Amino acid sequence: MALAITSPAFADGGPMDARYTCEGEDISPALEWTGEPAGTRSFALIVDDPDAPDPKAPKLTWVHWVAYNIPADVHSLAENAGREGALAAGKDGANDWKRGGYGGPCPPIGTHRYFFKLYALDTVLPDLGRPTKTQLLDAMKGHVLAEAQLIGTYKKKNP
């Protein structure tokens, strides 16, 4: 079985409810995963939006959540687990708002895609402080056993 990530809050490729965005409660959706390969010692999670600022002319990838050292025996994150400082299992990195935890979708224009990328690692990483996505990806080099992704979409109701 391959590593797979899902959410009870939305289907892969489907729309995310406003409660998980800046127009709602801005809380992280629940996530669940299965199928990690033998030798997995920890998980890392990166949530980003490659469609910023405009899906018709993307210029950058906006990072919404960075988390790492999620223990290998953890296979889900509850709704709102991404609240800054609330990650009971693992460590927060820095999102593009320069804070830890989850920052929900808040697209300025159009429908954006939000990639929830889960990595199974063969190690527990050293304490990286509050790494950016780039710093975490660098630290994970040579340690990724498998990866999976889930995509949610969102378009602001009140642009």
Reported in sequence order, the residue ranges of the chain that DSSP labels E, i.e. its strands, are 4-6, 14-15, 31-34, 42-52, 60-71, 76-77, 91-92, 111-121, 144-155
Stretch (H or E) spanning 28? none
Residue 152 burial (10 A CB sphere; 0-12, 13-18, 19+): buried
Q: What is the pTM of this model?
A: 0.96
Nearest to 150 by CA among 64, 48, 1, 54: 48
| 156 close to 106: Cβ distance less than 8 angstroms | yes
Q: Which of 31, 45, 33, 28 is nearest to 105 (CA)?
A: 28
pLDDT tens per residue, the chain (159 residues)? 799 999 999 999 999 999 999 999 999 999 999 999 999 999 999 999 999 999 999 999 999 999 999 999 999 999 999 887 777 789 999 999 999 999 999 999 999 999 999 999 999 999 999 999 999 999 999 999 999 999 999 999 876
CATH topology of domain 4-155: Phosphatidylethanolamine-binding Protein (3.90.280)
Residue 120's beta-bridge partner residues? 43, 146
User: Residue 88: what are its φ and ψ, rounded to 5°?
Assistant: -70, -35
